[in-house]
Amino acid sequence: MHTTSPLPPLLIFLLAIVIAVPLASRLRLGAVLGYLGAGMLIGPHGLGWVHGGSLLDVLSELGVVLLLFLIGLELSPQRLWVMRRQVFGYGAAQVLASAVLLGTAVYFALHLPLATAVLIGAGLALSSTAFGLQILGERKELPSAWGRLAFALLLFQDLAAIPLIAAVPLLAHGAHSSAALWPQLLRVGGTVLAVVLGGRLLLRPLFRIAAGVQQVEVSTAMTLLVALGTAWLVGAAGASMALGAFLAGLLLADSEYRHELESNIEPFKGLLLGLFFISVGMAANAAV
């Protein structure tokens, strides 16, 4: 279905959510598989009703951003510090072990160049934070011990993705030195530090002003502004937008507005995250 208006594709997306998710739940498959199946059905490799577009791509990415913002709200800097062993210990061990094992298998089985094997191993060592957290959330397992450990691993993977992405050009042919790596790492580190310091100083006064207006839409707009603005700022520095949203949620986790923020964001997160999973399903070619 080719059209210049974004409304028909959005209507098809919403119809797919309304039909696919209850059907998948009734079949005990989980909402994620329902979204993926709906995307494969309506996408360009299926019935061809919807084709990828910039607006749909942006909306689907916002779902992941808001999911990580809510996850940050449910933590606090103190709880994150308590989890440091799981994040930086088990998380680093999982990424390193998986990358070495997978890279070695690819190197010897497919006889690929070493740089290519390293890149493939490191890429396959990472998981989808959105998929993992969505499945754990559906099963009510995030508060459990294994749910917290899974979240710690996913969080470290998001952090590890920053130097891995920066190192990709160094593995390409014609890369002369590692000098290009450090400016990007310093830029990301400086941006994260600015977000943390600025958030500590500015966020609570801003939300106090928004709450004083006593208009729900102003509080909702402020919440979206902080979550999406921080995500964009960190993403522009070369890191993951989801990591930026997580930092924004983490900075507000101890605030008195935490529960209000959750209620403001939750409806947007659910629908937009559904669009993300459907868009992933649309990109899947069953024939391949």
Kindly give the confidence (pLDDT) of every residue in the chain, 288 residues in length, as a single tens digit, with 9 standing for 90 and above: 454 666 777 788 888 888 888 888 888 877 888 888 888 888 888 887 877 666 667 777 777 788 778 877 877 777 777 888 888 899 999 999 999 999 999 999 988 888 888 888 988 898 877 778 778 877 888 778 888 888 888 888 877 876 776 666 656 554 444 555 677 777 878 888 888 888 888 887 888 887 777 777 787 888 888 888 888 888 888 777 878 888 888 888 877 777 777 777 777 777 777 878 888 888 777 777
Q: What Å distances lie between residue 27 and 24, 104, 136, CA to CA?
A: 5, 39, 18
pLDDT value of residue 193: 86
Map tokens 């209850």 to a residue.
22
Residue 65 placed within a domain: yes
Distance CA 231, CA 225 (A): 10
The CATH number of the domain where 62 resides is what?
1.20.1530.20
pLDDT value of residue 141: 81
pLDDT value of residue 219: 79
pLDDT value of residue 17: 83
Q: 180 is in which domain, residue-wise?
A: 7-283
Question: 148 near 90, Cβ under 8 Å?
Answer: no
Residue 238 placed within a domain: yes
For the chain, what is the domain count?
Answer: 1
pLDDT value of residue 128: 79
Distance CA 216, CA 237 (A): 32
Residue 45 placed within a domain: yes
Residue 111 placed within a domain: yes
Burial 15-29 (b: 16+ CB within 10 A, else e): ebbeebbeebeeeee
Residue 2 placed within a domain: no
Q: Sign of the C-alpha dihedral, residues 223, 80, 119, 164? A: positive
pLDDT value of residue 52: 63
Residue 1 placed within a domain: no
**pTM above threshold 0.75:** no
Question: 72 near 250, Cβ under 8 Å?
Answer: yes
Residue 196 placed within a domain: yes
